[in-house]
Structure 1
Amino acid sequence: MSTQFTAVEATKSSKPTTGTLKTLAELLPFLRPYRRQFLLAGIALFIAAAATLTIPYAFRQMIDQGFSKVGEGGGHGIEHVNLTFLALFVVAVVLGIATAARFYMVSWIGERVTADIRNAVYAHVVTQSPEFFETTQTGEVLSRLTTDTTLIQSVVGTSISLALRNVLLFAGGLIMLFVTSPILSSIIIVMLILVIVPIILFGRRVRTLSRDSQDRIADASALAGEILNAMPTVQAYTHEQIEANRFSSSVEHAFHTAMRRIRARSLLTMMAILLVFGAIVFVLWLGAQAVLQGEMSGGKLGQFILYASIVAGAIGALSEVLGEAQRAAGATERLLELIAVRSPVSSPEHPLHLPVLDVHGATISFQAVEFHYPSRPQTAALANIHFHVNPGETIALVGASGAGKTSLFQLLLRFYDPQQGEILIEGVPIRQISLHALREVIGIVPQDTVIFSANAMENIRYGRIDASDEEVILAAKQAAAHEFIERLPDAYHSFLGERGVRLSGGQKQRIAIARAILKNPRLLLLDEATSALDAESERLVQQALESAMQGRTTMIIAHRLSTVQRADRIMVLEQGKIIETGTHNELIKLGGTYARLASLQFNLH
């Protein structure tokens, strides 16, 4: 599978890889709002750890003060054993309640923080300019929103709690080991230091493999998303098996990368258990020798063994948590990279307000505009563009594909900024207007119509969310969409399917036109608005558009010259330059490019 160098990957490659703890620490802004919940979870965690650490001491008391006395025939020993077991039951009750409270609180925090991260990433992604989506696959973004956030949820909702619990048990157990036997504890510490260093070093490799594994999963998701969105084309060219094989290859690649991570993590776990428990068994053997020589009581050794088991268990659990943290660190890096991407197009800090627009539409000026697409920096999409549009004027843009017509629309909407020159609306440079205020006065009917997975009513209402049902229906009538919508099974409440699969191309365009009419913009941009319509529908929509164009400035892109003959002015573009300007009749008399195109088209009819 060919890989695509994305905007996210560019950010990734320019950023040094950070350490696990430092990477996870970058989640703190998402954790801070829930300090109270963390405090409650911390209290429950502390109580549970304290209850666990009292158990070995109780067993020591039971052995030394209970069993020993019973062996000597004393009733006091039996009473002490009974009290010890009663105390152990109370400890178990406290431990159960505290553990349940901890589990509830940390699970709540995990779910809440994950939801916040998803919202933050998605809210950031939808503000990106088209340049971002030119170079980043949608599947890559979706993988980060789902798979990566799930890993973070696992860490925040489970692993952090387990890590803190085991840190407390490790620290408390270690202190109690020293209280029980300083000599044996000192030997344990020295040996643990010797075995933990290689574990930490090997853990770095696990983290690298975790990051690679997540990247391969994202690649597979991106490929699947691309193919599923193009399924009619895939099936038309009978490439089902080819695409299935491509996806299988991508999944296998992800599987083999994941297996490398799993093998490394398995070795890490095995190394941790063998080295740590080996060291502890050796020290316990020393303790057993001390009991045999009368230097230590049986209860004291039992207490030491239990505390050593707690410390060893805590270390083993921490090594498991470390493995999860390695994976989550990779996922966190990927999400933070997405959040770190900054759109080259943004609202100014102190935007200027548009003046009250003319009742007849907006005034537009292009002044020496030059523009190169980021993906094609060597080729000028627009070169030295000068023109002025008066309020209420209708301008038609004509030219071959790639001449720069759609680029003019994208600059007007500030999907991109030109490298040179200025674009003004009502005399105000559009770079100095907030993106919301700018796009609010512009309506567009794009060439590639977007239909959302909703009913017809909501698809049209997308043009103005607060519009009433009556206003939606009126816009549909103006766009010649009302009749076919009424014939749908549930009329305006009919679900249109994903990407409008239940509609024809012409019906989709009439929905888009109704959406633009409902918005009631001062500037209307029509990009091949009637290209997918049959002759009868085109006639109806042209009438609707002529009505909709009243009182507003309109710019039309059209390859069918029959749709632009009545424009106030026609501009002919070629290789990003305006080469002819005039009315239909003037350009026919000029005998240039427009006249040649008109001759070809009208002769065909």
Structure 2
Amino acid sequence: MNIKNLANMSSSIKPEPAKGSIKTLIGLLPFLQPYKRQFLLAGLALIVAAAATLAIPYAFRQMIDLGFGSRGIGGADAAASTLHIDLYFLALFGVACILGVATAARFYMVSWLGERVTADLRSAVYAHVVTQSPQFFETTKTGEVLSRLTTDTTLIQTLVGTSISMALRNGLLFIGGMVMLFITSVKLSSIIIVMLAAVVLPIVFYGRRVRKLSRESQDRVADASALAGEILNAMPTVQAFTHEEIEARRFGTSVERAFHTAMQRIRARSVLTMMAILLVFGAIVFVLWLGAHAVVQGSMSGGQLGQFILYASLVAGSIGALSEVLGDTQRAAGATERLLDLLAAQSPVQSVLLPETLPASLSSCTANGAALQLEDVVFHYPSRPDSNALMHLSLDIKPGETIAVVGPSGAGKTTLFQLLLRFYDPQQGRITLDGVDIRFLTLSALRSAIGIVPQDTVIFSENALENIRFGRADASDDEVIAAAKMAAAHEFIERLPQGYQSFLGERGVRLSGGQRQRIAIARALLKNPPLLLLDEATSALDAESERLVQTALEAAMVGRTTLVIAHRLATVQRADRIIVVEHGRIVETGTHTELIAQNGLYASLAALQFNTD
């Protein structure tokens, strides 16, 4: 199933009003509908297997009454009895063959469905999560998402691949068994129905507690996974501050909390199973005691009682199995609710249904670059509604112009870049790229026109070649190497053990900070965008590397519009204009010389840098 179909599935998901209940499982229907044929085949095999199972007690009755019930033990009667016994044992073997084949077919089909639906669900959830804006990840832990993709989907796999089949099979056995019980003895069956109704009510009531504990157990496991993911991604910091034992204790406490919650669920489910077995079998044993007296009195034959016992066993077994399936279903309902919560999450930043298009000249870097305009932009982060990050910011940037954005920490410099990339939308004002409001562009078209070198470089668990190729997936090896040379990364990559094929480690742990930054610069240069955003692109470089990269960046800036966040005067002095931002407002604008002469905030920042350098 392709990603487009999975996206359609996720878009059709609607939150269910009865959250935490089994009704939540209705939300899985979009993932089950594509496989109607497989469900029909599995259902057919299930019906055949159930019918074969229900035929066995009837065959035993015939064998007992017609085989062992003959009057004599010799002569013609004995021969007839032997013939009956042979025929019914052959019939039993034939039923067993049918049962075996049908059961194997059912197991194969439902197992395939479990694996297939789970794979689709994981892909759909992941494809949906990666489209969420940064606002989503401000409140959702990565470890929790991973727990939902693994633990919760495994529970649903058990539901689809086992529990649904078991529920249907035992449901059919229960219905068929009850019908055959009434055919065998209306009186005894009526008594057993009344007694079963009396014992089912407490089982259903107690099942609600199991469902609640199941959800709590899954939440505690997700908490432990989130904590582990956060700490494992920050191991150098943890070890530098000697927090290994502290974090181990924190995780141990979280695991113990999950264990105790799981044990509450297990105890509740054990009690539920015990109640189901004792109450149901107690009722059946009482009815069978009545049947035994009926045989002694001659109102039932031995074969009828044997048939009744076997059907009663099937009914009792099916009820016990259904109670077990109910526990799995309740856990899967909790898992489904959590997954549907993810699928129901809608990013506040969306592509419009009828997008506009950028000028053809912006499909790649041209000799002119892109015109950029910000008009009275006001923005605050959703998590901080009372504190504006940008206040009535207006800026007009000509094609090919290089603009440096400077200011103290927290002034709004990085926020500006996040708005340009539409990670967020401003609450007021608008941003245009070559005259087109970026809100009317698809996110893909907008971001394809922008290259960025972030301050916090991200290196993937791939080799050097693929890490740079992340900038443009269809780039050839020669283009990747050319970009690496422009970013002054070629020499140190060549010195790696396997050169460009060298694995860089998780989060680039095998590289220095400066080397990681040059990989990021090569990635942006490979993309070759008309608008280039440099967020402290040379902050982690030593003097020699900075000189090499600065030369490469100057060449890369030619023919494209560039915004630079930087404190290093080597970058700032070469800018066409310098924008000084403070408290989300533009307080100064000009060249380096003009701003020094104004003796304002920029002059103060420059003086501090000169003093520290």
Aligned with 1:387 (options 387, 390, 395) = 395
Instruction: State the match for 2:489 in structure 1.
Output: 481
Instruction: State the match for 1:124 in structure 2.
Output: 128
Instruction: State the match for 2:64 in structure 1.
Output: 63
CA distance in 2 between partners of 1:436 and 1:270 (Å): 57
Instruction: State the match for 1:269 in structure 2.
Output: 273
Secondary structure at 1:530 match in 2? coil
Please give the residue correspondences for 1:414-425 in structure 2 after superposition, counting only pairs within 5 Å.
414-425=422-433
Instruction: State the match for 1:150 in structure 2.
Output: 154
Quick check: 1:526–1:555 contact (8 Å CA) kept in 2?
A: yes
Aligned with 1:413 (options 409, 421, 425) = 421
Instruction: State the match for 1:446 in structure 2.
Output: 454
What TM-score do you get using the length of structure 2 for normalisation? 0.95
Instruction: State the match for 1:566 in structure 2.
Output: 574
CA distance in 2 between partners of 1:512 and 1:308 (Å): 71
Once the two structures are TM-superposed, the CA of residue 15 in structure 1 deviates from its matched residue by 7.7
Quick check: 2:402–2:575 contact (8 Å CA) kept in 1?
A: yes
Q: State the one-letter code of the partner of 2:343.
A: I
Once the two structures are TM-superposed, the CA of residue 168 in structure 1 deviates from its matched residue by 0.7
Aligned with 1:308 (options 309, 312, 319) = 312
Q: Residue 202 in 1 paired to residue 206 in 2?
A: yes
Quick check: 2:16–2:23 contact (8 Å CA) kept in 1?
A: no
Change (3 A) 1:39 1:185: same
Instruction: State the match for 2:137 in structure 1.
Output: 133
CA distance in 1 between partners of 2:205 and 2:435 (Å): 63
Quick check: 2:21–2:333 contact (8 Å CA) kept in 1?
A: yes
Once the two structures are TM-superposed, the CA of residue 370 in structure 1 deviates from its matched residue by 0.5
Instruction: State the match for 1:40 in structure 2.
Output: 41
Secondary structure at 1:366 match in 2? strand
Aligned with 2:296 (options 272, 285, 292) = 292
Once the two structures are TM-superposed, the CA of residue 376 in structure 1 deviates from its matched residue by 1.1
Q: Residue 538 in 1 paired to residue 546 in 2?
A: yes
Aligned with 1:397 (options 405, 413, 434) = 405
CA distance in 1 between partners of 2:199 and 2:424 (Å): 56
Q: Residue 258 in 1 paired to residue 266 in 2?
A: no
Q: Note the alpha carbon deviations across 1:158-194, whole angstroms, 9 max, x for none.
A: 1111111000100110110111111111111111111
Q: Note the alpha carbon deviations across 1:237-277, whole angstroms, 9 max, x for none.
A: 11100000000000000000001101110110011111111
CA distance in 1 between partners of 2:21 and 2:172 (Å): 20
Instruction: State the match for 1:164 in structure 2.
Output: 168
Please give the residue correspondences for 1:190-589 in structure 2 after superposition, counting only pairs within 5 Å.
190-356=194-360, 357=362, 359-589=367-597
CA distance in 1 between partners of 2:118 and 2:179 (Å): 36
Q: State the one-letter code of the partner of 1:197.
A: L
Q: Note the alpha carbon deviations across 1:185-222, whole angstroms, 9 max, x for none.
A: 11111111111111111111110100000000000000
What TM-score do you get using the length of structure 1 for normalisation? 0.97
| 4+ aligned runs moved over 6 Å, structure 1 | none
CA distance in 1 between partners of 2:177 and 2:608 (Å): 90
CA distance in 1 between partners of 2:263 and 2:16 (Å): 27
Once the two structures are TM-superposed, the CA of residue 435 in structure 1 deviates from its matched residue by 0.3
CA distance in 2 between partners of 1:333 and 1:244 (Å): 31
CA distance in 1 between partners of 2:72 and 2:115 (Å): 54
Q: State the one-letter code of the partner of 1:48.
A: A
Once the two structures are TM-superposed, the CA of residue 405 in structure 1 deviates from its matched residue by 0.1
Once the two structures are TM-superposed, the CA of residue 16 in structure 1 deviates from its matched residue by 5.2
Identity rate, percent: 74
Instruction: State the match for 2:9 in structure 1.
Output: none
CA distance in 2 between partners of 1:193 and 1:23 (Å): 26
Quick check: 2:22–2:330 contact (8 Å CA) kept in 1?
A: no
Once the two structures are TM-superposed, the CA of residue 300 in structure 1 deviates from its matched residue by 0.3
Secondary structure at 1:128 match in 2? coil
Quick check: 1:20–1:325 contact (8 Å CA) kept in 2?
A: no
Q: State the one-letter code of the partner of 1:47.
A: V
Q: Note the alpha carbon deviations across 1:477-514, whole angstroms, 9 max, x for none.
A: 00000000010111111111111111000000000000
Q: Residue 91 in 1 paired to residue 90 in 2?
A: no
Once the two structures are TM-superposed, the CA of residue 562 in structure 1 deviates from its matched residue by 2.9
CA distance in 2 between partners of 1:26 and 1:169 (Å): 27
Q: State the one-letter code of the partner of 1:534.
A: D
Instruction: State the match for 1:28 in structure 2.
Output: 29
CA distance in 2 between partners of 1:59 and 1:244 (Å): 62
Once the two structures are TM-superposed, the CA of residue 72 in structure 1 deviates from its matched residue by 4.8
Q: Note the alpha carbon deviations across 1:301-332, whole angstroms, 9 max, x for none.
A: 10000000000000000000000001000000
Quick check: 1:347–1:431 contact (8 Å CA) kept in 2?
A: yes
Secondary structure at 2:69 match in 1? helix
Secondary structure at 2:70 match in 1? helix
Quick check: 2:484–2:522 contact (8 Å CA) kept in 1?
A: yes
Once the two structures are TM-superposed, the CA of residue 147 in structure 1 deviates from its matched residue by 0.3
- What's the Cα RMSD here? 1.1
CA distance in 2 between partners of 1:337 and 1:509 (Å): 37
Once the two structures are TM-superposed, the CA of residue 359 in structure 1 deviates from its matched residue by 3.3
Instruction: State the match for 1:6 in structure 2.
Output: none
Quick check: 1:525–1:556 contact (8 Å CA) kept in 2?
A: yes
Quick check: 1:70–1:78 contact (8 Å CA) kept in 2?
A: no
Q: Note the alpha carbon deviations across 1:441-464, whole angstroms, 9 max, x for none.
A: 000000000101001000001111
Q: Note the alpha carbon deviations across 1:357-382, whole angstroms, 9 max, x for none.
A: 36311111111101101111111100
Once the two structures are TM-superposed, the CA of residue 71 in structure 1 deviates from its matched residue by 5.0
Change (3 A) 1:222 1:179: same
Once the two structures are TM-superposed, the CA of residue 134 in structure 1 deviates from its matched residue by 1.4
CA distance in 2 between partners of 1:18 and 1:237 (Å): 43
Once the two structures are TM-superposed, the CA of residue 24 in structure 1 deviates from its matched residue by 1.2
Q: Residue 596 in 1 paired to residue 604 in 2?
A: yes
Q: State the one-letter code of the partner of 2:526.
A: L
Mean CA deviation greater in 394-403 or 14-23: 14-23
Q: State the one-letter code of the partner of 1:478.
A: M
Q: Note the alpha carbon deviations across 1:5-34, whole angstroms, 9 max, x for none.
A: xxxxxxxxx985436431112111100111
Q: Note the alpha carbon deviations across 1:373-429, whole angstroms, 9 max, x for none.
A: 111111110000011000000000001111000000000000000111111111111
Consecutive unaligned residues in structure 1, runs of 5 or more: 1-13
Quick check: 2:16–2:27 contact (8 Å CA) kept in 1?
A: no
CA distance in 2 between partners of 1:32 and 1:45 (Å): 19
Q: State the one-letter code of the partner of 1:515.
A: R
Q: State the one-letter code of the partner of 1:244.
A: A
Change (3 A) 1:218 1:19: closer
Q: State the one-letter code of the partner of 2:443.
A: L
CA distance in 2 between partners of 1:238 and 1:563 (Å): 38
Quick check: 2:375–2:395 contact (8 Å CA) kept in 1?
A: yes
Quick check: 1:70–1:77 contact (8 Å CA) kept in 2?
A: no
